[in-house]
Structure 1
Amino acid sequence: MIYLPNELGKINKKVINSNYLNLCLYEKSKNDDFYEVCFDDYALVFINEGQKIIHTKQQDFTINKNEILFFTKGSYLIKDCIRNNYYNSIIICFKESILIELIYKYKSLLTSNFATDEHIFKLNSNELLNSIFTSFLPCFSYKTNEEIIKLKFEELFLALLYSKNNQSFITFLKTIITNFKLPLFQIFSYCEKDFQNVLEMAKFSNMSLTNFSKSFKQSFGISAKEWLDNKKFEKAKFLLEFSNKNITEICLEVGFNSPAWFISRYKKRYKTTPKQFQKAKNLYFLH
């Protein structure tokens, strides 16, 4: 059994990990028997060369070159079929949290109610989608900023949403929405409001801290604290680049109590200190 995304490095060394997304350029030159894969996050696979066969309890799926397959969480038997002595695909695993932000941003396009028992969805790619998937390839060879990866994923999200044969993708999104353990209107409210801590979020939901924390993780795929910290760091990064406030002021404004903790975690997350980032990016500090 291979568990993805945590074990992407076992199937190929060309892997990009971030807080929201995990990408893998998966290449093979040898046919194997079926092997079992368990997706702990949602995923999509784009076949660039070769063919993939997926066996489930309900049916078998075959995905060919220039086709896209969407996986909900679960376990599947998979076989990679070599064509022209080579198999190549791009695997993107993603958490509910990044989808929630995108669904909220484009919620007017996903208003109808929907339910389905399907777990795998397939659609044919097109020239635009092919070009977007191809644009991910340089990211595996050069160090790429996490924000660029997020923007490229949003570009892919929109291209899928607006493609002529988008029904499979919309069905996939609505399947994820039906699995949320929290009401969708509350989830959208979390995207709009600035909370200082998880207890505030639980009170907003009229739930106990324990029940809220459990439901939140089931809906978002990450803990409420991790999700809230992600939002705070994103806001801090924006303020570091575009405001003239000092590090302590920014730390307190986004809701962190300890500047030392903030600096340490910022450096671990972004591989640079807040001050170094500010001096490099902020026009107020450029001389």
Structure 2
Amino acid sequence: MDNVNTLSFKDHKPCIYYTANKKNGFRKQILNENESIEFHKGDSNLFLFGIEGDLIISDSESSMELTAGTMSLCTSGDTFIHLKSSRKSVLMILKFKNLESLILEYMLQKGSDEIVEKVFAKTIFTKEMHRFLMSIDDYICADIYCQHLHDLKIEEFFRILAIFHGEESYVSLLGPLRTSNRTFRYQVLSNFRPLMNVIELAEKCNMSVRNFSRRFTEEFGVSPGKWIADKKDGQILQSLSFHDAEMNAISEKFGFASPSHFTNYCKKKFKDTPKGLHQKLSSFYTPLDWENSNYSEKKFSSFCLRPIKI
């Protein structure tokens, strides 16, 4: 009888300094010969990367083979997918949902308007993509599961896909992600600028504020005002993480009336002063002394309250 396990991404509390509303991230899975795994994907999308061995991926409607050097996109379909190895296999898994990636939306605009309804799509990945996946493996082996880092690596993944895989290849691979509302999503992400308000963003998208707000909430699952505010908070924290950050310059950049206004805002939203946030965030990015420290023991626990493990 096959050895069957059930996997799922466990809940986690993201770092308050890099808040993440989505549990997106990379995982690594090793399967022994003739081992079967039932993977819980929920309503998320998966990229599956064959690193070693051979696998059969299936749900209740269809199946496909994943060999070493190929990657598959799994979109609509069952909540669970089934993975079965014919020999010892290693795969990398990227689970994602509701990404706000401009480069992804750009690639989706390259395809036709036809909606592609299929569960699995597959292509060969390049040597550049393989090197990228090996860098992800380094983070996973070091037990580094910072959600902010994973978000950055997801964006890097789509850039590598766009640069090194060619338009014909990525258009075919990403076809199942194309939906009727992608044009609106692309308009929002390509027109958004820091310090924009809802009225200005609606005008850029050539829509009335009422229609824009309704459509935005349907597509992004949050009001445009809340989305813009969250974007602003993320950009503030990113600016404060730089070693040469200047508090007054950041205050002016984000439209605060005075440094004291900026300080009060940070205390209310992030429970600390701008200076305090800067000290914590910049120390997080201080290079480790590789000769005298064991980075795997640090695990960035001060900034990643819970890992995003399977």
Aligned residue type for 2:157: L
Aligned length: 262
Aligned twin of 2:54: 51
Map 1:1-287 → 2, pairs under 5 A: 7-9=8-10, 19=21, 21-29=24-32, 31-32=34-35, 35=38, 37-56=40-59, 59-75=62-78, 78-84=81-87, 86-99=88-101, 101-103=102-104, 107=106, 110-111=109-110, 113-115=112-114, 116-140=116-140, 141-143=142-144, 146=147, 148-164=149-165, 167-180=168-181, 183-184=184-185, 186-192=187-193, 194-196=195-197, 205-208=207-210, 212=213, 215-220=215-220, 224=224, 227-240=227-240, 241=242, 242-246=244-248, 249=251, 253=255, 258-264=265-271, 274-277=277-280, 280=283
Relative contact order higher in (CA < 8 Å, ≥ 6 apart): 2
**CA RMSD in angstroms, aligned pairs only:** 4.4
Amino acid of the structure 1 residue aligned with 2:70: E
1:44: how far off? Answer: 0.6
What runs of 5+ residues in structure 1 fail to find an aligned partner? Answer: 11-16, 283-287
Any conservation in 2 of the 1:41–1:93 contact (CA below 8 Å)? yes
CA distance in 1, matches of 2:25, 2:252: 29
Task: Evaluate the alpha carbon distance shift between residue 273 and residue 151 of structure 1 in structure 2; reply closer, same or farther with a 3 A threshold.
Answer: same
SS of the equivalent of 1:136 reads: helix
For the 8 Å contact 1:55–1:77, the answer to whether it is kept is no
Provide the C-alpha distance between the structure 2 equivalents of 1:124 and 1:266, rounded to a whole number of angstroms.
49
Q: Structure 1 stretch 122-131 or stretch 174-183: which is displaced more? A: 174-183
TM-score (norm 1): 0.68
d(CA) in 2 for partners of 1:226 and 1:65? 43
Distance 1:145 1:78, change over 3 A: closer
Q: Secondary structure at the match of 2:100?
A: helix
Return 5+ residue gaps in structure 2 as ranges. Answer: 12-18, 286-310
3-state DSSP class of the match of 1:192? coil
Aligned-residue offset at 1:8 = 1.8
Letter in 2 for 1:102: I
User: Which one-letter code corresponds to 1:195 in the other structure?
Assistant: M
* Distance across 1 between alignment mates of 2:34 and 2:272: 44
SS of the aligned residue for 2:271 comes to helix
Q: Distance in 2 between matches of 1:38 and 1:30?
A: 23
Q: Quote the sequence identity (%).
A: 17
TM-score by length of 2: 0.64
Name the CA distance, whole Å, in 1 between partners of 2:248 and 2:125.
47
